[in-house]
Amino acid sequence: MILTVTLNPAIDHTLALSEPLVDGDVARTGEYELNSGGKGINVSQYLRHLGVETTTTGLLGGMTGEFIRNELDEDGIAHDFVEVSERTRLNTTISAPDAEYKINHHGPTVDESVIDELIDLISDHDPEVVVIGGSLPPGLDVDAIDRLAEGGPWETVVDVGGESLAELDAQYSLCKPNEVELAAATGMPCETIAECREAAQALREQGFDRVVASLGAAGALYVSEDTVLFAESLDIDVADTVGAGDALLSGVLAALHTGESPERVLSYGVAVSARLVTTAGTVVDHLDDVPELADRVRIVEDPD
């Protein structure tokens, strides 16, 4: 079983305006979305569609936390969260004709003792793999991620910011940076595929068995001790790229879970990501066409 951990989840509140914002005026709209947000939650959603047993956990509090629980119930995603005293955050995106505005709350302030509670909770579920993703709430630092990784016999996968990646001390089975995070974690340039490859190899030596790097429209890299692969992106119509990295990681994890080859692991990740970006938002109805999409992904060994 794959258990995902989101330490600072959120409700993603999206408003669409038909007119530009004007200072002092009241803007009205009937177009809005409220969705559960967080890397771990997204990964569990996609894993469930891929037929992989998964449970999502993390920290939730207040009425916003209850909203997320209810949404997970409606979506059929197993969950088991630690309750915190402050409300789970609300992140707002305002899309206007002339601009897009993003306002993210920093999240509830929590005590380090919640990590002990999470370790006990994770142990009760006895997962094979634990996936930790997203930002940290106030009160926690990267040591919390290391503690979770070393808290039991599970393999740990991380999808966190570049600066956090650079500060981790535990051994991890996999990390999934994008090119910006790869550069931040290593201090190396990541403008070309060759540069990203060198940075991924350097990052792997810092305590990661595998590095899977998402490179946006260019594709993705897979780097392990004895394998370097590059997958080209599929030629598809893109609605938006929200959640593309989470989808890539989900496909990689699903293929690793069933013992696929590195080539299939990477192509599966790219296929899930491609399937997601053809629709707006982070929610998908199904991923039934992923195997067919994966067959279309072109893999290059030892890219220059």
pLDDT in tens, 156-206: 999 999 999 999 999 999 999 999 999 999 999 999 999 999 999 999 999
Mean pLDDT of 224-233: 96
Higher pLDDT: 124 or 22? It is: 124
With left for phi above 0 and alpha for psi between -120 and 50, is residue 95 left, alpha or beta?
beta
- 35 pLDDT band, cuts 50/70/90, is confident
Domain range annotation of the chain? 2-301
From start to end of 149-218, where are the E strands?
A: 155-159, 174-175, 211-214
Measured distance CA(8)–CA(303) in Å, rounded: 36
Task: Report pLDDT for 19.
Answer: 86
Q: Annotated catalytic residue: which of 111, 146, 246, 289?
A: 246
CATH architecture of 2-301: 3-Layer(aba) Sandwich (3.40)
pLDDT averaged over every residue in the chain: 94
What kind and span of H or E run contains 37? Answer: strand 31-37
Task: Report pLDDT for 283.
Answer: 78
- The terminus-to-terminus CA distance of the chain in angstroms comes to 36
Q: For this structure, is 12 an active site residue?
A: no
Measured distance CA(61)–CA(252) in Å, rounded: 31
> Which residue, among 209, 234, 233, has the nearest Cα to 221 in the 3D structure?
233
How far is Cα of residue 142 from the mean position of the Cα atoms in its chain?
Answer: 17
> For the segment 283-298, what is each residue's pLDDT rounded down to a tens digit?
788 898 999 999 999 9
Task: Report pLDDT for 94.
Answer: 86
- Helices then strands (H, E): number in the chain? 10, 15
> For the segment 95-114, what is each residue's pLDDT rounded down to a tens digit?
888 888 889 999 999 999 99
